[in-house]
Structures are given as structure tokens and as C-alpha cells.
Structure 1
Amino acid sequence: MARSTVRHEVRTGPPAHDVARRLLDSAATLSYDPATEVDWETPLDKDFHGASPEWSTLYGTAYWREMTEEQRKELTRQEAASVASTGIWFEMILQQMVLRDIYAKDPTDPRFQWALTEIADECRHSIMFARGAQKLGAPAYRPHRVAVELGRAFKTVAFGEAAYAAILVAEEVLDVMQRDWMRDTRVVPFVRTINNIHVVEESRHMKFARDETRKRLEEAGPLRRRVHALVIAIASYVIVTSMVNKDVYRHAGLDTERAVREARANEHHRALMRSSCSGLMEFLASAGLLTRPALVFYKRAHLI
């Protein structure tokens, strides 16, 4: 690994309150109400995919080539619902971490007000994802019990750059795939609308998370930086590997054992994840958060 991936550089930006004030102005100008923006009334059209086929965990495999077009569409609908359910799970973790971070702080501070705005956004997003998964005809996909318990611990103890960088990883990974889905006319229209809303509003959240990560790292010594780099990497691994529940294959009418086996060996999906996360990895490297132990987990998650 090149030396540039482990340097300890923290790039400073504008004062935090200036960033927060601009984000508040942006939210006031461009925000959505999913209850009215998304077409919840039109019945699901099964002639459409639930996500871009290229993002399916089985795309490019022998199993994918054997599947009928109807099976492929059903699988992408189930996978999109699973990603949405994982998004709800992490957004609940995010909300608790942000609330804990601003507890008893100055409510006149724009950063405090932006944090509450972000939490309000996440509440709407979670409801939107839940209704979207339901409309896709999917069950309630939940992360593995181990992931749920690790998330419970993480939301309780994570602070500073560990909390905000983990938030950034989850949001960036979702952002990349959803930018593809929202432009893809093969994807069912209401899902494209959901993705567009999430991409627009999450762009502000990612800006804040990046700014907070840089700010908190200014206070971090070498030991804290190394520990948090590993914590962020582990959290990222759990989030990414929880996105597609193995039960999606059963609900799509596939052989679960074979589907899981081929999905785990799918080099197309691995390459897609790596290329999509290149900007995120560059940011983490510039912040000194790609330590050798952390890289182990990013590589296992196929993010680098």
C-alpha cells in the first residue's frame, strides 16, 4: 500500500458554523416531502426493475444468465427493498449518535439547528424507505443479529470522528448506487423518485459529515486516530455486508444456497463497489484513517 494512503493530513475548511448556516439555507430552499412527492397510489408495475440490474449481487454470474427476465426484475426489487431496510437501520443509529452529540449544547448555534434538521430529514427518509419496501412487495428484511448488536454498541459509544466518518461511509455508499438507480428508466418510477429525494438531501448530510470528521480529527492524537480508524472500518464492513439480506434470493424464488455462493464470488459486483467508493477512500486516506488494520476490513468489504 502506498504511503499516501496512510498519511495523517487534515484539510481544514470554512468555520463549522458557516458550513451549517449554508446547509440550513439549502434545506430551506430545496427539501422534499415524500408523503406527497412519491406516487404511493399507483399499483406496482412488475415490468420494471427495483434497481439497476448491474447493481444486482448476481449480475454477471452464471445464475444470472440462467434466470428469466421476470426473475431478474423480482430479484432487483427484493434487493432494493433490502438496501432500503438497511438504510432505515443505520439512519436510526445515525439519529441517536447525532442527538447524543448535540445534547445540552447551544441551541442558537447553526450546527445545533442543522443537526436537528438532519435528524428530521432522516425520519422522513426512514418512513419513505419503509413505504417503498412495502410497495415493492418485500418482507421486513433485518440485519443479522450480530450486526444489530454491534450497531447497538456503536451508537452508544461512538463519538467524534468515529461517529461522523461512519455516517459518511454509509451515506456515500448508498449515494453512489442511488445516483445510478434514479437515472435508470428500467427502474420503477416511484423508486427513482425515492432515490432522487435521498440523493438531493443526503448530499447536505455528507457535506456536514465530512466537515465534522475533519474538525474532530483536529483534536485527535495519534492513538485516538488509530483506534477510531479501526472502529470506522469495522462499522463500514458491517454496514456494507448487511445491505443485501440473503433472504432476498428465497423471496425471488431462487436457490438461496447457490445464489449466496455465486454472489460472494461475483467479481463484477466487487469491482463496482471498489470503483464507486474511490472518492470516499481518498477522503479517508487524506484524513489519516486508512491505517493498515483498517485496510483489512475495507478490503474484506470490497471497498478498496
Structure 2
Amino acid sequence: MTIAPENFRATLNDTELERLLESSEQLSYQPDDEIDWDAPLDPTKYGLNPEWSTLYGTRLWSEMSEEQRIALTRHEVASIMSTGIWFETLLQHLILRSQYSAPYGGSEFRWALTEIADECRHSLMFSKTCAKLDASDYRPQRYVHELARLLKNVANGEISYGCILVAEEILDVMQRDWLRGEDVLDEVRTTSKIHVVEEARHMKFARMEIVDYLKGVSPTRRRVSAYVIAAAATFIVREMVSKDVYANVGLPRERAIAEAKANTHHHNLMRMSCVHLMDFLSEAGLLTPAAMRMYRSVHML
């Protein structure tokens, strides 16, 4: 199913696109200049704010030693970054497809290539961070990986940019907390700062694209798009922290999975991180009853 060929769209505001391009020129980072990849990790610091751990506040967390907590958060952040690499690879494919027939001299085309360049740098810095953390190469489950392969080959229009937006919005709130965490590894704080600053532009562009693609569409198309975006969001959230992280740090796997699944503290953090996203989806007419059920299933709503 292909949604909305490009020649049926209105042209995005060139002034806004030029502002994004100017911002990218003035405020972008080179991770290799910001991070000392050879410096030893601080053994006392977490991979992410302890409050963002999937087990924080559970009975198992209270039984864990400080070393286990630090190790768990490092594997959790490595899993989240690995999921980020997976999804950034997918979204680059989506953006390239959307621009395949675009005017090559246009500001939208130039912005799209700028965003892809940003995503390549982000994936490289996430990859280097995971290697420095010496964490396992976490991947989505095989069936999710294959569903995403289908999505990147058939999605278009507001579905493409809706999927991009939900993934980036969820990570944005997490990383804003991580970059302020004095007990978080410097490497994670710096990568979070870079990602937050540069993804703010990407999210603005995604919102612009979604609104543009939805102008004058039928109610049926809007419902279908809302459902596909919500389905993609649920898979992204479920795959962010691999179930393998628990055994990899010496925790009882099944007990850890059960306690994480029932962790209301983490559920509340997820809902908090999605407030602005849900507001936007509602305004865009993409928060249908069917989509809301899916978001609630992963505590995004």
C-alpha cells in the first residue's frame, strides 16, 4: 500500500525549510570532536538515569547491588541505542524514497539529505558508544525486523513521517533527562545532547510533512494512517529494551521480565514522555479509537 504520491502534495513552506537548513549549519556537532572514545569509563556512573531503568522501583531492583544496577542501565542504554540505529537506518530509507522524484534544487530535497547525514552521524556515535560500553549487539526480534523491512518498502506520506516522529519523540524526552543526569556516564550525556539538539529540527520537519500530507485526505485514509503509525509505535516501544539485557547482567530472566512488565513507575514515565506527541497526533486527526488502544497497550497514553 503506497500512500499519497508526491505530486499530489502542496509545497512545504520554503522559508521554514531554509530556517532548518540554516540552523543545521550553525548548530550541529561532530561526535568525534565532542567525545573521547579512548578514555576509560567511570565505573561509578550509570548508563542512564536509574529512574529510567525498566526495573527501577521494583522488588528486584531493591535486591540488586549497586554494581548490578550500573551494569543493567548500561545494557539498557546500549539496547535503546541499538534500536535507534535500527530505526535510523529504516527512516533514512523512507526519506530517500520520499525524495526520489523531488526537484534536486529545492530546499526540501536539500533538507532531506541534511537529515540523512545527521542520522548517519547519530548511528555512528551510537555504535561507538555501544562498543565502548562492551554491551551485546541487541536487535529487534526477527519478526519485527522483517515487518520493518516491509514497512520501509511500502510506506509513504504521513505514515513515513508519522513513524519517524513517534520514534524520535519518545527518545527525546528520555535523553533530555539523561543529559542532565550527573550520575550518568559522560559519553551518554554527550551523545544525548547531540541527539536532542539535532533531532529537534528533524521532528519539526516531520510534523510539517505530516500536516502537509494530510491536507484534504479522506477519513478512510486518515484512519488507516493512524492505525499503521500506532502499530509501528508499539513495536518500537516493545523492542527498545531487549529482554536479553537481564540475563546478560546476571539477573533471573523470567522474573526480571515479569517485574519490568508490571512496573507502574516505568509506565508513568512512558506516558509522560508521550504527552506532546499525543497532543500533536490528536490535532492532526491521527488519534483514532483504534490507534488509542494500541498506544495504551504500551503505556504511551
Could you tell me how far apart the structure 1 residues matched to 2:232 and 2:16 are?
Answer: 26
Asked if residue 118 in structure 1 is aligned to residue 119 in structure 2, the reply is no
Question: Which of the residues 242, 245, 248 maps onto 1:248?
Answer: 245
Report the counterpart of residue 39 of structure 1 in structure 2.
36
Aligned to 1:213: 210
Is residue 68–residue 249 contact of structure 2 (8 Å, CA) maintained in 1?
yes
Equivalents in 1 of 2:15, 2:294: separation in Å?
34
Aligned pair count? 291
For residues 204-260 of structure 1, the C-alpha deviation after alignment (integer angstroms, 9 at most, x for no partner) is 000000111101010421111010100000000001111000111111111111100
Q: Tell me which amino acid in the other structure corresponds to 2:262.
A: A
Q: TM-score, normalised by structure 1?
A: 0.94
- Which residue among 126, 130, 143 is the counterpart of 1:133? 130
Q: Who is 1:69 aligned against?
A: 66
SS at 1:242 equivalent: helix
Cα distance between partner residues in 2 of 1:266 and 1:57: 7
The CA deviation at 1:107 is: 1.2
Question: Does 2:162 align with 1:142?
Answer: no
Structure 2 match to 1:158 = 155
User: Alignment partner of 2:139: what SS?
Assistant: coil
What letter corresponds to residue 256 of structure 1 in structure 2? R
Q: Secondary structure at the residue paired with 1:235?
A: helix
Distance 1:38 1:260 in 2: 33
Superposed CA deviations along residues 115-170 of structure 1, whole A, max 9, x for unmatched, are 00000000010011011011111010000011101110111111111110110000
**RMSD of the TM alignment (CA)?**
1.0
Pick the aligned partner of 1:286 from 261, 270, 283.
283
Which residue of structure 1 aligns with residue 196 of structure 2?
A: 199
- Name the stretch that deviates more: 228-237 or 216-225: 216-225
Q: Show CA shifts across 1:161-215 (max 9, x none).
A: 1110110000000000000000101001111001000000000000000111101
Aligned residues: percent identity? 55
Larger relative contact order, structure 1 or 2 (CA cutoff 8 Å, min sep 6): 1
In structure 1, C-alpha distance between the alignment counterparts of 2:237 and 2:151, rounded to whole Å: 15
Structure 1 regions of 5+ residues with no counterpart? 1-13
2:174 matched residue in structure 1: 177
Name the TM-score, length of structure 2 as normaliser: 0.95
Q: Is the 8 A contact 2:12 2:108 kept in 1?
A: no
Worse overlay, 34-43 or 204-213 = 34-43
Q: Does 1:263 align with 2:260?
A: yes
In the other structure, the counterpart of 1:6 is none
